[in-house]
Structure 1
Amino acid sequence: MTLPPAHDRARERAAWIRAFHDAREQARTLVCFPHAGGTAGQYFPLSAALAPDVRVLAVQYPGRQDRCAEPAFEDIALLADEIARLLAEPQPASSPVLFGHSLGALVAFETAARLEHRHGVAPAGLIVSGMQAPYRRTASRLSGDDEEAALVALLGLGGTDPAIIDHPELRAMILPALRSDFRAAANYRLGSCPSLLSCPITAWTGRDDELTDGDVHAWDEHTTSAFHTRDFAGGHFYLDGFPPLIVEAVRTAVTRTTGSIGHSRSRTDT
């Protein structure tokens, strides 16, 4: 296979993988995956809080913001194929930790599986938030075909300004990507890639979310390594804005899989 010129590959990577802050040379890498309808920019506060000890990279899915002219993916497996390829080329100096919330948890998981089983780059760790373990998922009630249902569902989870419903321009910006993301979630099936990982998995949820303890603890079935879980005050978007408690939980999860970061810090999670 003939590879595109280096500058084209760099441009492609820059479109998909966003970095907001400088990091030191030996910084750990955390790759973040947005929720349905979400964008890479939602991880800006986390990047600011963790720099320069952690290099936060955020995935910008096609079909939104500056990529709105591109067709959105409606297949999580194909989306993960692209992201894993970009993360594996060139071979990273150190294995990243992957972190995904809601739909992003499934994309992060499938990307982790591809990195390990297809590219030989096992992630250092996987953090999943606000999502059932893949084999526990039931058929989605939302196909993405109903615009109003998609918006109501997103607003019902919290973390989104209700004014969007009455703002035609905002609706037009958000709905296409949101509907495609809901279709991707509805069509998701486990099994497109081997699903047992060798890296530790950390699973989080909000105490007022609809997920059960069984949904969260079932992520343990997808790793041969350590498993950690924790719940936080709040609903589905308990991590919105990344308050200090969540930042320190992320820092601890990254440290647990990659070693100590900088100077000694207090531990806030269990």
Structure 2
Amino acid sequence: MQSTNKWFPFAHNRDGRKHKQVFCFHYAGGSSVIFKQWAAASRPVEFIPVELPGRGIRSAEACLENFDQLTEQLLTGLLPAVDSHPFYFFGHSLGAVIAFEVAWQLQSRYGLHPEKLIVAGRHAPHRPDPSIFKSYMNDEALIRELKRLNGTPQEILENKEILGFLLPMIRSDYKLHESYRYRGQKLNKIPVVAHAGKHDHEANAALMQHWREATDGNFALKEFDGNHFFVQKLGEEYLAELIREILQTDYDERGA
């Protein structure tokens, strides 16, 4: 993989034949920098954060608000990176459904597939969206949503200048999420692992268990302490568990 690929700004060009590569898709309003620490070259697993248009090094580009359009562009960037060795997908919240859809597209159209799909903090693709906030609501409603999710620092929520920059991007990501259409997609023999925050009311274990219906492969479900942003709040503790999940050689059916 070339580190100059705009989709993967933190790739280290490690040998994919020797290191398990995990492509990471971020939540709404996030960017690849969320996973920058994961991408450290010293990790036993190669984490490759995915950068969507409109943020990070791609901040000059327009955010995409059409899911099918994003998928097509993502496939163009991903295909050269995944066609020669095993790879894995990890997605958090919005990133979970992006990872699922791209996995399905790769498998159905190109015969390629991740060794495992790990999803966190998002209901299964075929289930109704339980989210309270909708993209047509005003900025005040969006700020209330950010406060409710408890993942945005208070100093940012109180800074009008920063909010003026962030809110349009976050709203675009909500529009992108709302544009997703489930059309009966189901992964073929791809293991799915679902990670749920115990206090994530819109993606708790009871809701995330339905990811087992998104594949005819093995399924596992694990709960973690925390709310919607447990992935970030648990830090290295969560990352260690994720690395164990990737490195284990014999997939079991915990939670199945």
Give the residue type in structure 2 aligned to 1:238.
F
Within the candidate set 206, 211, 217, 1:225 is matched to 217
What are the residue-to-residue correspondences of 1:8-47 with 2, within 5 Å? 14-19=5-10, 21=12, 23=14, 26-47=18-39
> Identity, % of aligned pairs?
28
Aligned to 1:266: none
Aligned to 1:177: 169
Aligned to 1:187: 179
CA shift in 2, pair 1:63/1:223, >3 Å: same
Secondary structure at the residue paired with 2:53? coil
Alpha-carbon contact 1:22-1:51 (below 8 Å) kept: no
Give the residue type in structure 1 aligned to 2:123.
Q
Secondary structure at the residue paired with 2:6? helix
Within the candidate set 57, 60, 75, 2:48 is matched to 57
Aligned to 2:207: 215
Which runs of 5 or more residues in structure 1 are unaligned?
1-8, 261-268
TM-score (norm 2): 0.87
Q: How many residues align?
A: 249
Secondary structure at the residue paired with 1:16? coil
Alpha-carbon contact 2:29-2:170 (below 8 Å) kept: yes
- Please say if 1:149 is aligned against 2:168: no
Give the residue type in structure 2 aligned to 1:39.
S
Aligned to 2:106: 115
Alpha-carbon contact 1:206-1:231 (below 8 Å) kept: yes
Give the residue type in structure 2 aligned to 1:96.
F
For residues 43 and 91 of structure 1, what CA distance do their matches in structure 2 show? Answer: 19
For residues 77 and 116 of structure 2, what CA distance do their matches in structure 1 show? Answer: 18
1:243, CA displacement in angstroms? 2.4
Secondary structure at the residue paired with 2:196? strand
- Please say if 1:86 is aligned against 2:77: yes
Secondary structure at the residue paired with 1:27? coil
Aligned to 1:265: none
Alpha-carbon contact 2:22-2:88 (below 8 Å) kept: yes
Give the residue type in structure 1 aligned to 2:133.
L
Secondary structure at the residue paired with 2:123? coil
RMSD: 2.5
1:19-53 deviation line (CA, Å, top 9, x unaligned)? 255645510000000100001010122223x8342
For residues 169 and 242 of structure 2, what CA distance do their matches in structure 1 show? Answer: 27
For residues 125 and 36 of structure 1, what CA distance do their matches in structure 2 show? Answer: 22
